[in-house]
Amino acid sequence: MKILITGGAGFIGSHVVRLFVNKYPNYLIHNLDKLTYAGNLANLSDIENKSNYTFIKGDIVDGDFINNLFEKENYNAVIHLAAESHVDRSIANPIEFVMTNVIGTVNLLNAAKTHLTKANSAFKKFYHVSTDEVYGTLGDTGMFTEKTSYDPHSPYSASKAGSDHFVRAYYDTYKLPVVISNCSNNYGPNHFPEKLIPLCIYNIKNKRQLPIYGKGENVRDWLYVEDHAKAIDVIFHNAAIGQTYNIGGHNEWKNIDVIKLLCKIMDEKLGRENGTNEKLITFVKDRAGHDLRYAIDASKLKTDLAWLPSVTFEQGLEKTVDWYLKNEDWLNNVTSGNYLKYYEEQYTNR
């Protein structure tokens, strides 16, 4: 089987690529990535010389490039993870999110559709990886299910909702064999430090302020990235065509409680007095359109395909901290650009 994995140099994508390359030595895995600020081939240095792995630099927004790639490689399947994914950046530049997340996805769908109709085609599945943010926000109770209506509130979530709708439209209209999954907030190794947990790990290590939106009362369901990669593996190989699955970690936490736990863990890891790192917490003006609560009901995935998360949030967070502290070179390299200045400006302006 020859599989194209898009966005495979990014956070989640790199874990999926590594899992598939190592677990399925008879598969040919092509990793397509534009290598934006969040794409990093250092994430895959341990498998870059594997005989069943190939990296391809390219942009899914370039339709001609995508069509030629499909024509040349005759892929059996696509696992589509390439996306602009940070809400703050989508607020600052929504067009970039429309181009990558919507137009890029449609380019891939068109190429797969064209490829499917060819006599020599062995195309079997287009797997689109999405987010729970397409569902909008929840109150104090309830959970997102696969039947929850879409209600996106940010340019990021709107662009992902649009891409989901196009995937389903290509299934309904052209009979393209698709599956979709919507996951909760991921965390773990190799996460670019613009997101909450890796940003705060970096700032705690360097005794910088920990900027928390509002009062820190927003609730997220946290999913360890390696558990997500395993869920993608299960869904890719076993889900029926046309199905959608929610993937959640069964770990609902308020943002402020996440950071307090992180501070406690890093007090111990860094040999600091208990409570030292909590003093770095700084509340800042809330993000525009900030959803209050996300929570995933992943019971369909458990019932149909026997998947459950393997680590608790406490276990996963400690493993994450250990990885960042042991990989200081990686962290220093990805933070050596302008991102810190960008975020200081963003938090100040909000």
Does residue 345 sit within a domain? no
Does residue 270 sit within a domain? no
340 has a pLDDT exceeding 60: no
309 has a pLDDT exceeding 60: yes
Q: What is the CA radius of gyration of the chain?
A: 20
Q: Which residue has better confidence, 349 or 287?
A: 287
User: Looking up tokens 């190429």, which residue turns up?
Assistant: 111
Identify the burial level of 50 via C-beta atoms within 10 angstroms of its C-beta, where 0-12 means exposed, 13-18 middle and 19 or more buried. Answer: middle
Alpha carbon 197 to its chain's center: 14
Q: What is the pLDDT of residues 137-151, one digit of tens each?
A: 999 899 999 999 999
Does residue 205 sit within a domain? no
Are the beta carbons of 335 and 193 closer than 8 angstroms? yes
Q: What pLDDT does 265 receive?
A: 98
Are the beta carbons of 120 and 181 closer than 8 angstroms? no
Active-site annotation holds for 156: yes
Task: Determine the Cα–Cα distance for residues 104 and 143; give it in Å rounded to an integer.
Answer: 30
The predicted model gives 57-77 an average pLDDT of: 97
Q: What is the pLDDT of residues 261-276, one digit of tens each?
A: 999 999 999 999 999 9
Q: By C-alpha distance, which of 125, 118, 135 is closest to 167? A: 125
Does residue 74 sit within a domain? yes
Are the beta carbons of 187 and 197 closer than 8 angstroms? yes
Instruction: For residue 224, report the phi and psi dihedrals to the nearest 5 degrees.
Output: -65, 135
Residue 26 neighbours by CB distance under 10 Å? 6
Active-site annotation holds for 227: no
DSSP sequence for 102-165: IIHHHHHHHHHHHHHTSTT----EEEEEEEGGGG----SS--B-TTPPP---SHHHHHHHHHHH
Q: How many domains does the chain have?
A: 1
The predicted model gives 314-322 an average pLDDT of: 97
Task: Give the predicted TM-score (pTM) of the model.
Answer: 0.94
Residue of 84, 88, 133, 291 with catalytic role: 133
Does residue 266 sit within a domain? no
Q: What is the pLDDT of residues 71-122, one digit of tens each?
A: 999 999 999 999 999 898 999 999 999 999 999 999 999 999 999 988 778 8
Q: What pLDDT does 343 receive?
A: 46
Active-site annotation holds for 252: no
Where in the sequence is the domain holding 76, given as residue range(s)? 2-191+222-250+290-311
Q: By C-alpha distance, which of 223, 209, 188, 215 is closest to 321? A: 188
Domain CATH number, residue 54? 3.40.50.720
Does residue 7 sit within a domain? yes
Q: What is the pLDDT of residues 26-38, one digit of tens each?
A: 999 999 999 998 8
Are the beta carbons of 172 and 305 closer than 8 angstroms? no
Q: What pLDDT does 122 receive?
A: 87
Residue of 156, 170, 187, 324 with catalytic role: 156
Describe the crossing of helices 11-23 and 225-238 by its angle, rounded to 10 degrees. Answer: 60
When pLDDT is cut at 50, 70 and 90, the band that residue 337 belongs to is: low
Residue of 132, 164, 227, 297 with catalytic role: 132
Does residue 83 sit within a domain? yes
For 230, the 3-state DSSP assignment is: helix
Does residue 114 sit within a domain? yes
